[in-house]
Amino acid sequence: MLDDELPGLMLLKMLCEQMPELEVVKAFNSPQLLLQEQAGLEYDLLITDIEMPGMNGLQVADALKGKAIIFTTAYKNFAVDAFDRDAVDYVVKPVKQERLQQAVQKVAGRMAKPEPAAPKQIQLNTDKGKALINVDSIFCMFTSKIDSRDKILFLNDGSKITAKNCSFEKLLDMLPEKDFCRVNKKAIIAIKHVQFYAHDIITADRLLPDGTHYTFALSEIYRNDFIKKVKI
């Protein structure tokens, strides 16, 4: 935080220390000193006054890239300049706890990272070379009966792909977590293909060549994770 007037700086520091979501890294009463030291500080947010001798808060904001800024000032006429610099908020002095809390919540909202987009394809080393496989096309995966290091992917069109030397852990890391679940030591299933399930067995919506439904043993060690995912 930055304010050339010590009473204002101490008040701001006190207000911030009352917010559990904030950690005050350092307080400065000189813009020049802040810029000298800021490279060695780990912080995400700067709360700064605007009107200061020698260098104002707008100039400080121009010098800092990638940091969230909340401006505090006794003057309302700087608002346009502040928001031109993509300020998170502009708090008019005297700073009140509730108003500062609102500004900090805006920072938290801006900094919240969206969930990464689910991958549409995964790349695997197969018995036929490298392959790009659409995630939505995968029905289930089994450990190969020929070599347990390999996994057999059953696709919705009835075809199969052998993933060479690939663990279930590696496969699950590549796939959308909420869409696939390991159900026993030898199988993973796409949740969208679950039709029924009981305590120890899962019935899928796809049919075997003889007209019966695919079924999967549901092991106790994986049951809780499976139930969580089918209930989402």
What's the chain's average pLDDT?
Answer: 91
Q: In terms of DSSP bridges, do strands 138-143 and 129-134 run parallel, antiparallel, or are they unpaired?
A: unpaired
Q: Please state, in angstroms and rounded to a whole number, the distance separating the CA atoms of residues 162 and 150.
A: 7
Topology agreement, domain 6-111 and domain 121-230: no
Q: Give pLDDT, residue 112.
A: 76
Q: Please state, in angstroms and rounded to a whole number, the distance separating the CA atoms of residues 232 and 230.
A: 6
Domain extents in the chain:
6-111, 121-230
Q: Please state, in angstroms and rounded to a whole number, the distance separating the CA atoms of residues 166 and 152.
A: 10
pLDDT in tens, 129-163: 999 999 999 999 999 999 999 999 999 999 999 99
Q: Please state, in angstroms and rounded to a whole number, the distance separating the CA atoms of residues 82 and 70.
A: 9
Beta bridge partners of 202: 197, 216
Contacts of residues 36-45 at CB distance under 8 Å and 24 or more positions apart, as own/partner, are 38/64, 43/67, 44/68, 44/107, 44/111, 45/69, 45/70, 45/88, 45/104, 45/107
Q: Give pLDDT, residue 114.
A: 63
pLDDT in tens, 218-232: 999 999 999 989 876
Q: Are 2 and 60 in contact (CB under 8 A)?
A: yes
Give every CB contact of residue 215 below 8 A, 6+ residues apart in sequence.
201, 202, 203, 204
- Whether the per-residue pLDDT at 47 is higher than 90: the answer is yes
User: Which percentage of the chain shows pLDDT scores above 70?
Assistant: 97
Q: Please state, in angstroms and rounded to a whole number, the distance separating the CA atoms of residues 149 and 17.
A: 54
CATH number of this structure's domain 6-111: 3.40.50.2300
Which tokens go with 213?
A: 């439904």
Determine whether domain 121-230 maps to CATH 2.40.50.1020. yes
